[in-house]
Structure 1
Amino acid sequence: MTGGGGGWWGLLEWMPTTTIWCGGAGDPDDPVEAAKRFVEEHLPEPFDVGDLSREAGLSRGHFTRLFREREGRPPWDYVLARRVARARDLLDDGARLSDAALESGFYDQSHLNRVFRRVEGTTPARYRRDRTIVQDEGGAAPED
């Protein structure tokens, strides 16, 4: 194709460029690792998969596919699992249920209850009660 308007070279100038990432897991520039770091740093804050994909520097669809391929689950399932793990740690440290919910990134205690039960198979209150019973049985007798 020749002639006015730049020919096919003009088309190349018009086409958007795309950066293709070719690193592996553990690579500091790895988009999945970047998203996971973002999750850990912003766990109690409100964010969504769009924020994670922007942090990774990928389109939402491409990021979601890559994350699922690498981690074996969708990004939001990963976020919820990390929030539940944080809530478990806080409950183990004696935090109130409402405080554990907010400090883990849940909207309220009810939201924590629903997600915790789905992920752990029990409620946060029952989890804490069962942990307390096990610790009491395994440790020294309580002092009177």
Structure 2
Amino acid sequence: MTFEQEQRHVYYDTDLKIEAYHLTGIVQPFPNHFHDYYVIGFVEGGRRHLWCRDREYDLSAGDLVLFNPRDSHRCSPRNGEILDYRAVNIPADIMKSAAHEVTGQPYTPFFTQNVVYQSDITSALNDLYTGIVEISSRFEKEEAFFLLLEQIFREYSSPFEQSSTAEPDNKIKAVCAYMEDHFSDNISLDDLTALAGLSKSYFLLLFTKQVGVSPYRYLQSIRIERAKKLLEQGIPPIDTAAMTGFSDQSHFSRFFKDFIGLTPRQYQKIFQTDKHSKKEASTNEHEH
């Protein structure tokens, strides 16, 4: 299958305030990165090799994928097979509010498994995805949303405070905070090693081990997440690139496409149509 047959459809639901993704015919590997939102997805077809939180998985049709915010992950095709994949992206504040609804108490969920092989939950996820795409009633979508979350919370979630994930040490935390506050600046490796008080080589090894991605990949992930927010607000891609620290629009578009699977302009179009319209984009549209 050729690159031109790749399709990426993205829908934004203004009732639930979540995104639904449908990727078909994908041959592209995705680099190591993370998101600021939760991802619940499943493989419809094809096989992928996934690396997430220092573990490796071989994915195939019927497998459920669960990512917490900041879970670093990457994937590549197995034996050149194409990927068909559906997912919903849930902002952290929406998830926390929904978790309170489901559990009846303040609750920030932490997915305890990143992959559930051959999971029956994919059916509930598909019901939610279909409700969003077919513009079902708010009642129907909310029911599908809460039923899906209730099942995941019951089987594959614990309170975030009880998660066993090791936190970075204070030096690395300070570097992360610096990049999040100064993402639009021209940050250098010298800046970060001076802040951490470490040699370049040791800093790179320590940061990558503790955070799960390299410092440069961390910075680019932060920039892409900030860029998404600006694009959603209608800021032109060329201005968004400058405001998020990218050297030029071409550089920005390349990184955005690698991380998100859409060009900045394609992503922005999702938020420029009314909520009763089909919102989709395809890689066959050669936009920058």
- In the superposition, the TM-score normalised over structure 2's length comes to 0.37
- The alignment status of 1:125 with 2:269, answered yes or no, reads no
Query: Aligned AA for 2:275?
Result: D
Match of 1:32 among 157, 162, 172: 172
- The alignment status of 1:137 with 2:279, answered yes or no, reads no
Measure the CA separation in 2 of the matches of 1:59 and 1:83. Answer: 25
| Contact 2:168/2:211 (8 A) holds in 1 | no
Q: 1:105 — aligned with what?
A: 245
Residue 137 of structure 1, CA deviation:
2.4
Query: Aligned AA for 2:267?
Result: Y
Secondary structure at the aligned position of 2:220 is classed as helix
- Structure 1 pair 57–131 and aligned structure 2 pair: CA distance change class (3 A): same
Give 1 or 2 for the bigger CA radius of gyration: 1
Measure the CA separation in 2 of the matches of 1:105 and 1:132. Answer: 24
Residue 51 of structure 1, CA deviation:
1.5
Query: Aligned AA for 1:35?
Result: V
Residue 38 of structure 1, CA deviation:
1.0
Secondary structure at the aligned position of 2:276 is classed as helix
Residue 25 of structure 1, CA deviation:
3.4
Structure 2: gaps of 5 or more residues: 1-165, 278-288
Measure the CA separation in 1 of the matches of 2:261 and 2:221. Answer: 13
Residue 131 of structure 1, CA deviation:
3.7
Identity across matched positions, percent: 32
Measure the CA separation in 2 of the matches of 1:73 and 1:127. Answer: 24
Q: What does residue range 53-68 of structure 1 map to in structure 2 within 5 Å?
A: 53-68=193-208
Q: Kindly indicate whether structure 1 or structure 2 has the higher relative contact order, using CA contacts under 8 Å at least 6 residues apart.
A: 2
Query: Aligned AA for 2:255?
Result: V
User: Higher helix share goes to which structure?
Assistant: 1
Query: Aligned AA for 2:195?
Result: E
Aligned residues: 112
Residue 71 of structure 1, CA deviation:
1.1
Measure the CA separation in 1 of the matches of 2:275 and 2:215. Answer: 37
Measured on the aligned residues, the alpha-carbon RMSD in Å equals: 1.8
Measure the CA separation in 1 of the matches of 2:271 and 2:236. Answer: 15
Q: 1:114 — aligned with what?
A: 254
- The alignment status of 1:52 with 2:192, answered yes or no, reads yes
Match of 1:73 among 213, 217, 220: 213
Residue 26 of structure 1, CA deviation:
6.6
Measure the CA separation in 2 of the matches of 1:50 and 1:97. Answer: 29
User: Higher strand share goes to which structure?
Assistant: 2
